[in-house]
Amino acid sequence: MKRPLFKVTLLSSLLATSIALAAPSGALLREHIEEDTLLYLRVPELVSGGTLSNHHNELNRLYSNKEFQKTTKALAAAIQNPKTVEGALKRLGVKQNTAEFSYAIALLSRINSPLEVAVVGQSIENLSGYLTAGVEFESVREINQFLQTLGVPPTIQLSPEGDLAAGAVAIHFDTKAKRLYLMGSSKGAGLTELEAWKKTLNSRAKNDGNVMSVAESRIDPSGDGLFFWMSAPKGQLAEELAFFIMMMDQNPLFPMLLHPDFKGLSFGVGKTEENRGQIRFVIEGDTQKVLGYSGSEKTPLNFETLGTPQYMAHQTLPSIAEWNSFENHILNYLEVDQQEAYRVGKEKFKTELDKKLGFDSALFVKAFGPDIAVYKDDSGDNTAIRIRDKAAYKELTSALEKSAESAEKKSGVTHYHFNNQSYRELLDFAFSEAEPEARDGVIVARFLLAKWVDLGVINQFFTPDSHLYLVEDNDWVFVNSIPQPLIERKKAKFKVAPWLKENSYRSESAFLGGTINVKGAYQKYYYGLLERLQVFGDEMDVPVNLNEFPLYSDLRVKESSQVNISLDWTKEYLGWSYQYELLPTDYDYGYGSTYAQLYMVGVAGMFALPAYQDYGKRQMVAEGIMLSAAAKMAATEYYATMGEWPADNQTAGLSPADAIRSNAVRGVEINENVILIHFDETLDYGSVILEGSATEDGWGSVVWSCYSIDIADRYLPANCRF
């Protein structure tokens, strides 16, 4: 039985396979970008092997296999036939626009270079757009014939010279270079302007030192991967953007785009120096001036573990001065009354916290930093916290001893026994969205409460009726809720610093993140690939003989794949990165339960304040709603076609309800105009209800509402709450 949304994977893979064998002719705009370029987008070979894939060097023996090469070549040829693709789409259950989609795939298969788009100018009235790509056409006549097969009107055909001018758009096909050029402008663009741009483009010197190229080097030095760049708006465009922001709700992040020290933002897919795949989003600029914090001065994590860690999650603990600078800077983006409400609420919060603890909570920040790490090694799960100030640490341990019900030291491990039910209740109050006072004083700028990073540390120390065990080792304190793992630390000899470097995780620049070792990933990828090839072959009438493919054991690949995720914070940039040997979607077909999501939830659960412990459940609800997308589409299409709602999943053409599942979702059930998303014990077996209602436009349109009667509002998206 096919898994839910499997046909979506098939469709995306059809796109990928259709041009996997195309020979790239290289990027062009990137090499000669203009200084006033506002936007730049490069799509590499239109999602062919490598857009997100890391080319899987471990599987070179597979890619050199003759049967594999023969099969993929046959599939690529089949996909270039629109009629074959249209038939496959219909068999997969796609009912609408199959002809258009199949012709689009055929067109994409003819593009054999990165597709590049650039927007130039600093005013809405004076913007120009450019597009160029290498194509597999030998002549203008061949292009026109192909356009005719797509149903393009004869009036939109290239001239014998390869030109076309239509309104504000001009097109030229360079027969010698086999490259298409397209230009559009808010002032109008003709063939004369297009030819002038081409000459300027080819004569302009390469720009390797501008802001965009520096940003690209952080993501994809090769210049072949997916890459997007937006420069900081200037002049009239900045004024127009400022007016737009003023009309928007007060989001503290919007005004930062207009800060004079903001240089631009970029997103892309590339490779690290260690040849790992990388997805990265970067904001360029002086972070101290834009955000009030430029990252903490620190060295790589340098403690020892008992054997190679299975995973390690890590967070920076800035100093009090650093957080004060960040907090004051961000507050400047808020209204005066919001600033005051936040400060009053924060002061009230800290006063109560200190009272419940029995000492100044700021001692945690003074004593610890700038790193905290949670990891699992051969001794089990552990927490390591770097000591910032030995004197403050001594003062803290003295305060802990006084506030504990009992304290003793045995086998080198210090044991504190606390009863801190009141502390837990305090945190629940501080982040409760049900409290209007908290909403005004705390929730309005809730992310700023990360200023009290001592709470992240305290949360490792205290739970109701908790037992805290800790041991000091050089500049680190290791914390656990039981003593055995800490006693085992006496045998710890594995150095994590070189291990993290080898795995491309830069703990010295990461503000938040970690690394995980996924066992069996390559085997899952290989078997999943064979399964998909077999299905593609059936749908595309291409014979696939899996018996001629090598055994997994013959590929001789390593057992596991490493995955990293991090938020990097330096003086020059702020960047989110996701690094991988195998992309989790290559080997995890649970849809919505990828290791990327698991990892984010894991990091949040390890370090965040207690309010963010709800984050995992909210993600699970979001996962369920995403998983229901296919059901919504199927029910909507059925209603639009039949004029009535489908009685159940089978009527709608879907898998049984209990077959549409993920980590937390037990099933997605259609019952006429109602879709029930059933969750497991994680959400107390509750359900989210999607209810479809027909509009009165006469076109069979449907709007969907969302609610739940047995899942708390705090776990639901805003549009699903009563």
pLDDT, tens digit, for every residue of 300-332? 999 999 999 999 988 888 888 888 888 788 777
Q: Is the pLDDT of residue 4 over 90?
A: no
Instruction: Looking at the structure, tell me whether residues 225 and 173 fall in a common domain.
Output: no
- Of 250-259, 407-416, 488-497, 621-630, the one with minimum mean pLDDT is 250-259
pLDDT of amino acid 378: 95
Range of the domain at 416: 304-516
Among 4, 92, 55, which Cα is nearest to 525's? 55
Q: Tell me which range, 146-155, 239-248, 635-644, 699-708, is most confidently predicted by mean pLDDT.
A: 635-644
Does residue 480 form part of some domain? yes
Question: Does one domain contain both 156 and 236?
Answer: no
Is 30 in the same domain as 58?
A: yes
Q: State residue 444's pLDDT score.
A: 36
334 versus 247: which is more confidently predicted? 334
Quickly count: other Cβ atoms within 10 Å of residue 605's Cβ.
Answer: 14
Is 70 exceeded by the pLDDT of residue 212? yes
- pLDDT value, residue 414: 93
Long-range contacts of 536-542 (CB under 8 A, 24+ apart): 536/10, 536/13, 536/14, 536/17, 536/75, 537/71, 537/75, 539/10, 539/88, 539/91, 539/92, 540/75, 540/78, 540/79, 540/84, 540/85, 540/88, 541/78, 541/84, 542/71, 542/74, 542/75, 542/78
pLDDT tens, residue by residue, 269-293? 887 777 788 889 998 888 888 778 8
- Better pLDDT: 46 or 14: 46
Domain end point (choices 461, 485, 516) = 516
Residue 80 lies in a domain: yes
The region of weakest confidence among 365-374, 569-578, 595-604 is 595-604
**Of residues 105, 179, 78, the one with CA closest to residue 138:** 179
Cα end-to-end distance, the chain, whole Å:
37
Q: 317 with 412, same domain?
A: yes
How high is the pLDDT of residue 305? 96
**Residues 96 and 14 occupy one common structural domain:** yes
**Residue 474 pLDDT > 50:** yes
pLDDT exceeds cutoff 50 at 236: yes
pLDDT bin (cut points 50, 70, 90) of residue 448 is very low
Which CATH number is 691's domain given? 3.30.700.10
Confidence of residue 439 (pLDDT cuts 50, 70, 90): very low
Identify which of 208, 220, 224 has the alpha carbon closest to the alpha carbon of residue 268: 220
Pair (318, 456) in one structural domain: yes
Average pLDDT over the chain, rounded to an integer: 76
- Residue 634's H or E segment, with its range, is helix 629-642
Check: CB of residue 600 under 8 Å from CB of residue 565: yes
Q: What is the pLDDT of residue 497?
A: 95
Whether residue 169 sits in one domain with residue 62: yes
Indicate whether 602 belongs to any domain. Answer: no
Mean pLDDT of 684-710: 83
CA dihedral 258, 262, 263, 268 (to 10 degrees): -100
In the block, residue with structure tokens 């006549």: 141
- Residue-level pLDDT at 1: 35
* CA dist., res. 221 & res. 278, Å (int): 11
- The amino acid present at 473, given as its one-letter code, is D
Asked if residue 397 is part of any domain, the answer here is yes
Q: Would you say residue 242 lies in a domain?
A: yes
- Given a cut of 80, whether residue 542 has pLDDT beyond it is yes
Please say whether the beta carbons of 648 and 671 come within 8 A.
yes
Query: How many residues would you count in the chain?
Result: 722
Q: What is the domain count for the chain?
A: 4
State the Cα–Cα distance between residues 684 and 682, nearest whole angstrom: 6
Rounded CA gap, 89 and 98, in Å?
6
Percent of the chain topping pLDDT 90: 17
Binning pLDDT at 50, 70 and 90, where does residue 205 land? low
Which region, left, alpha or beta, applies to residue 721 given φ > 0 means left and ψ of -120 to 50 means alpha?
beta
- Do 122 and 33 touch, CB atoms closer than 8 A? no
The pLDDT confidence band at residue 85, using thresholds 50, 70 and 90, is: confident
Q: What percent of the chain has pLDDT over 70?
A: 73
Residue 105, domain member (yes or no): yes
What pLDDT shows up at residue 247?
A: 46
Taking the C-alpha atoms of residue 253 and residue 245, their distance in angstroms, rounded to an integer, is 10
Cβ-contact 119, 129 below 8 angstroms: yes
Question: Cis peptide before 154, with omega less than 30 degrees from 0?
Answer: no
pLDDT at 415: 92
Q: How far apart are CA 187 and CA 293, in angstroms?
A: 42
CA gyration radius, the chain? 29
199 and 245 within one domain: no
Pairing state between β 169-174 and 163-166: antiparallel
- Tens of pLDDT, residue by residue over 25-72, are 456 777 777 767 888 998 876 434 444 444 456 676 777 677 887 887
Domain boundary among the residues 224, 255, 285 is at 285
Q: Lowest-confidence range among 23-27, 361-365, 366-370?
A: 23-27
Question: Cα–Cα distance between 439 and 47 in angstroms, integer?
Answer: 45
CA distance 29 to 39: 12
Tell me which residue has tokens 């006072």. Answer: 437
Neighbours of 358 (CB within 10 A): 11
**Confidence band for 521, pLDDT divided at 50, 70 and 90:** confident
* pLDDT value at 189 more than 70: yes
Q: Is residue 299 part of a domain?
A: no
Same domain, residue pair 319 and 346: yes
| Per-residue pLDDT at 97 | 65
Please indicate, yes or no, if residue 236 is contained in any of the structural domains. Answer: yes
The angle at the Cα of 264, spanning 258 to 266, to the nearest 5 degrees, equals 140
Q: Among the ranges 7-21, 49-63, 129-143, which has the highest mean pLDDT value?
A: 129-143
Q: Using CB atoms within 10 Å of the CB of residue 174, give its burial: 0 to 12 exposed, 13 to 18 middle, 19+ buried.
A: middle
Q: At 167, is the pLDDT very low, low, confident or very high (cuts 50, 70, 90)?
A: low
Q: Are 277 and 369 contained in the same domain?
A: no
